[in-house]
Amino acid sequence: MGRFFFIAKRFIAGESIENAVIVVKALNQLDLDVTLNLLGEGIKQPEQAESAVQNYIAVLDKICDEDLRANISLKLTHLGLNIDEEKCLEHLCQILEAAKERNLFVRLDMEGSLYTQQTLDIFYSLVDSYSNAGVVIQAMLLRSPHDIFVLNKIGASVRLCKGSYREPSELAVQKMPNIRSAYLSMAEQLLKDGNYPAFATHDDYLIDKIISYAEELGISSNQFEFQMLLGLRPNFQQEISRRGYRMRIYVPCGPEWMNYFYRRIRGNRENLWFVLRNLIRS
């Protein structure tokens, strides 16, 4: 598995769906919801995309069969966006239709800025047909306030994150204090005008501000949720849930864990120090 897996395994629910089910059940017992993600992106062969579709439908079946409190997220390059956009759209519709039949939700993950417009265009083309679909916006991108405005207008479900990809200064805010400021501004817009927004952050300052702003607006705790990564501050995740706020844990699984781990941890100094601190922090 590689020399880094002894660290990575804390943040990844193994390489199989069966491993992930065990993790999801344990989280559900702690009153935590889950988003399951099959790791994989940037695939280069059509058969890999077709396999991903079947694997995701198998995950949807598992969620139903095991009565899990879970939904799924996926990356469009895992479904062949780099190979054939039309075929990728077909694959996505297969998954969305299967999820719709099972009354389950699908989140379209956002990848690097190269794919932002493509991902949004595909989402916009399907949002009227699939109300069980949502999308992710990265606060660090300079374009994101406008994207939030448009998504709020159409009543889309948005997951807001800081962003984990390295982006140039002409496309993205670079300094963390400025990223936090941008995140908070967009979080406020989502609370005021959004449709059950999801706030993906481990940042205490942002969490406190979001809770305070929701209270000021008279927005109840069941009208939005927080999201955190598997393995980071598990006791704090439970604390937020006990305080009456919905908490969803992002649970990645699959053999393609290395790219995920490198991007989240090794590709960003802020993420690296954050993970190292949280290895000894609850």
pTM, entire model: 0.92
pLDDT of residue 13: 86
Integer angstrom CA distances of residue 141 from 38, 122, 169, 256, 269: 25, 19, 9, 26, 18
Residues 109, 41: Cα–Cα separation, whole Å: 11
Domain enclosing residue 111, as ranges: 5-278
Active-site residue numbers? 109, 159
Per-residue tokens: 36? 């399951």
CATH of the domain at 13: 3.20.20.220
Helices 85-101, 116-126: inter-axial angle, 10-degree rounding: 50
Residues (pLDDT < 50) of the chain are 1, 267-268, 272, 280
Burial 77-87 (b: 16+ CB within 10 A, else e): bbbbbbeeeee
Instruction: Give strand pairing partners of 107.
Output: 73, 134
Q: Give the count of beta carbons closer than 10 Å to the beta carbon of residue 185.
A: 14
Three-state SS letters, the chain: CCCCHHHHCCCCCCCCHHHHHHHHHHHHHCCCEEEEEECCCCCCCHHHHHHHHHHHHHHHHHHHHCCCCEEEEECHHHHCCCCCHHHHHHHHHHHHHHHHHCCCCEEECCCCHHHHHHHHHHHHHHCCCCCCEEEEEECCECCHHHHHHHHHHCCCEEEEECCCCCCCCCCECCCHHHHHHHHHHHHHHHHHHCCCCEEECCCHHHHHHHHHHHHHHCCCHHHCEEEEECCCCHHHHHHHHHCCCEEEEEEEECCCHHHHHHHHHHCCHHHHHHHHHHCCCC
Q: Give the count of beta carbons closer than 10 Å to the beta carbon of residue 44.
A: 10
Are the CB atoms for 136 and 165 separated by under 8 Å?
A: no
Instruction: Give strand pairing partners of 159.
Output: 136, 198
Q: How deeply is 212 buried, as exposed, middle or buried, from its count of CB atoms within 10 A (0-12, 13-18, 19+)?
A: exposed
Are the CB atoms for 14 and 271 separated by under 8 Å?
A: no
Structurally, how many domains does the chain consist of?
1
pLDDT of residue 262: 62
